[in-house]
C-alpha cells in the first residue's frame, strides 16, 4: 500500500520537527567538544614548550610560565619573551630584524628563525616529547 498524506509516519515527521532539531544540535555540540578536546591534547592542554636552539645548545621552556629568555649567537644576544602561551623575539642584533617583526608563535607548527644570529624557536607540544623543562622561573 502506498503512503498517503494521512499516514502516521508522514504526520509524525511533519508534526514534530523538534526531535530532529534536538538530535542535530546534540551531534553538533558533541562534534565541537571532540574538536576542542583534540586541539587541547595536541598542545598538551596548554602545556606546550618553546624549544630555543642556538650555538650554545638547545633549551626547552614551558609556555605556561611567562619569562624573558636571552639566547646568545655569533652576533650577540637575542631577547625572547614567553607570555600567555606564546613566544616571540623582541630584540636581536641582526641587521634586518625580520625575526622581531615576525610576531608571536603559539602552535606546534610555529617557528621563528634569526638566521644571522643562528637562533631558532619552535613550539613543541608536551605530547611530542618528554615533559622536561630546562629552566624554571622562581
Is the same domain home to 12 and 60?
A: no
The total number of structural domains in the chain stands at: 2
Q: Look at 72 and 110; give whichever has higher pLDDT.
A: 72
Task: Kindly state whether residue 110 falls inside one of the protein's structural domains.
Answer: yes
Q: Which residues have CB under 8 Å from 129's CB, separation 6+?
A: 49
Kindly report, residue by residue over 32-89, the tens digit of the pLDDT: 888 876 665 554 445 689 999 999 999 999 999 999 999 999 999 999 999 999 999 9
Is the same domain home to 29 and 76?
A: no
Average model confidence (pLDDT) for the chain? 81
pLDDT of residue 5: 55
pLDDT of 9 above 70: no
Element (H, E) at 42: helix 18-42
Element (H, E) at 59: strand 57-62
Task: Kindly state whether residue 1 falls inside one of the protein's structural domains.
Answer: no
The pTM assigned to this predicted structure is 0.61
CATH for 69? 2.60.320.10
Domain of 38 in residue numbering reads as 8-42
Amino acid at each position: 500500500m502506498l503512503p498517503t498524506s494521512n499516514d502516521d509516519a508522514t504526520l509524525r515527521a511533519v508534526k514534530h520537527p523538534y526531535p530532529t532539531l534536538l538530535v542535530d544540535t546534540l551531534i553538533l555540540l558533541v562534534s565541537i567538544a571532540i574538536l576542542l578536546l583534540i586541539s587541547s591534547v595536541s598542545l598538551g592542554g596548554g602545556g606546550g614548550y618553546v624549544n630555543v636552539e642556538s650555538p650554545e645548545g638547545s633549551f626547552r621552556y614551558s609556555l605556561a610560565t611567562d619569562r624573558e629568555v636571552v639566547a646568545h649567537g655569533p652576533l650577540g644576544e637575542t631577547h625572547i619573551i614567553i607570555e600567555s602561551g606564546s613566544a616571540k623575539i623582541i630584540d636581536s642584533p641582526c641587521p634586518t630584524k625580520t625575526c622581531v617583526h615576525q610576531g608571536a608563535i603559539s602552535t606546534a607548527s610555529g617557528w621563528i628563525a634569526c638566521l644571522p644570529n643562528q637562533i631558532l624557536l619552535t613550539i613543541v607540544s608536551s605530547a611530542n616529547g618528554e615533559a622536561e623543562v630546562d629552566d624554571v622561573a622562581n
